Amino acid sequence: MRTRALPLLAATAVLALAGCSAAETPAPSASPTASASASAAPPTSASPTPDATAGAPVVETPVECETLDLASGTVAGSDLGPCLQAVLVRYDTGTLTISGDELAGEISYHYDPMFEFRGDLETGGGPVAISFVDGDMLIDEGDGPVVADPDSADPTEQAAGAAAEAYRVFSDPGFIGDLIGGGDTWSVSAAPEPVETLDGSVEAYRLESTAAYDWYGIPIDAYTLWLTEDFRPVAAESTTGFLGRTATLTQQLSGLGEPVTISPLS
Average pLDDT for 31-51: 36
> Under DSSP, is residue 155 helix (H, G, I), strand (E, B) or coil?
helix
Over the stretch 62-91, which tens digit does the pLDDT of each residue have? 999 999 999 999 999 999 999 999 999 999
31/150 Cα distance (integer angstroms): 23
> Under DSSP, is residue 86 helix (H, G, I), strand (E, B) or coil?
helix
16/2 Cα distance (integer angstroms): 23
Q: What is the pLDDT of residue 45?
A: 36
Domain ranges of the chain: 69-93+181-258
Each residue of 71-94: b (16+ CB within 10 Å) or e?
eeeebebebbbbbbbbbbbbbbbb
Contacts of 234 (CB under 8 A, 6+ apart): 52, 195, 197, 199, 202, 204, 226, 227, 228, 252, 253, 254
Nearest to 174 by CA among 28, 32, 22: 28
- Given a contact cutoff of 8 angstroms between Cβ atoms, the answer to whether 211 and 57 are in contact is no
pTM: 0.79
- Given a contact cutoff of 8 angstroms between Cβ atoms, the answer to whether 200 and 8 are in contact is no
Residue 252 clears pLDDT 70, i.e. is over it: yes
> Under DSSP, is residue 250 helix (H, G, I), strand (E, B) or coil?
strand
Higher pLDDT, 39 or 103: 103
DSSP 8-state code for residue 262: -
Average pLDDT for 247-256: 92
Other beta carbons within 10 Å of 131? 25
Q: Which amino acid type is present at position 37?
A: S
Q: pLDDT confidence of 161, banded at 50, 70, 90?
A: confident
- Given a contact cutoff of 8 angstroms between Cβ atoms, the answer to whether 90 and 63 are in contact is no
Average pLDDT for 232-256: 88
Q: What is the pLDDT of residue 141?
A: 87
Least confident of 56-60, 174-178, 216-220: 56-60
Over the stretch 125-142, which tens digit does the pLDDT of each residue have? 889 999 999 999 999 988
Q: pLDDT confidence of 17, banded at 50, 70, 90?
A: very low
